[in-house]
Amino acid sequence: MKHTLFPSLFAILTVSLALICGRVLAKDAKEFASTKPAPTADTVRQKLINKEIKNKRGNVDLVMIGDSITFGWDRQGKDVWKKFYGKRNAVNLGICCDQTQHVLWRLENGNIDGIQPKLAVLLTGTNNASCGNPEEVAAGVRAVVEKLRTKLPRTKVLVLAIALSFLP
């Protein structure tokens, strides 16, 4: 039986250490694609999110930001979302297949315009892990956190660990 726990823990620890130390392990994070905003492939979902944000007229206390794992709260997790987050002025900013560079682009293109939530829950980087090294993943996550801190200075940011059990 092959154990995938140790490589996953190593990757999570590497990403976590890079974030905690407040710096990226690579020489220049700007060389990574994960830190350069790139348009999301799902522009329909992007426009729906922006419309929802606009319709809320700034009345947003919680945003969940991420990829398909976050997006799943609008599908398979809809009942749980309604029960626990429905009354919390929450908005789901998840888009399937997005990587950190797509999240960065979305944050620059309407997903958080005109709001100042109390909390942003971030789960991103999982889709970067299959094509990038831990330093690149950490750089991308860090860039997203920095963007959130710049655009939403009063918002607390909770960064969740990414799941890397698919790595060898």
Domain limits, the chain? 5-159
The domain covering 5-159 belongs, at the CATH homologous superfamily level, to: SGNH hydrolase (3.40.50.1110)
pLDDT in tens, 71-125: 988 888 889 989 998 889 999 999 999 999 999 999 999 999 999 999 999 999 9
Amino acid identity, position 39: P
What are the CA-CA distances from residue 10 to residues 14, 110, 134 (Å)?
6, 35, 9
CA–CA separation, 75 and 73 (whole Å) = 5
Whether 111 and 148 have beta carbons less than 8 Å apart is answered as no
pLDDT of 119: 97
Residues 130-137, mean pLDDT to the nearest whole number:
90
Tokens representing residue 61 in the block? 């206390």
pTM of full prediction above 0.85: no
Tokens representing residue 31 in the block? 């060389």
Whether 46 and 106 have beta carbons less than 8 Å apart is answered as yes
pLDDT of 136: 95
Decide the pairing of beta strands 62-66 and 119-123: parallel
Closest CA to 63 of 87, 88, 85, 91: 91
- Distance in Å from the first CA to the final CA of the chain: 13
Residues 41-61, mean pLDDT to the nearest whole number:
95
Residues 34-52, mean pLDDT to the nearest whole number:
96
Amino acid identity, position 167: L
Percentage of the chain with pLDDT > 90?
Answer: 64
Return phi, psi of residue 163, to 5°.
Answer: -95, 125
Closest CA to 129 of 21, 19, 34, 4: 34
Residue with tokens 């690149």: 136
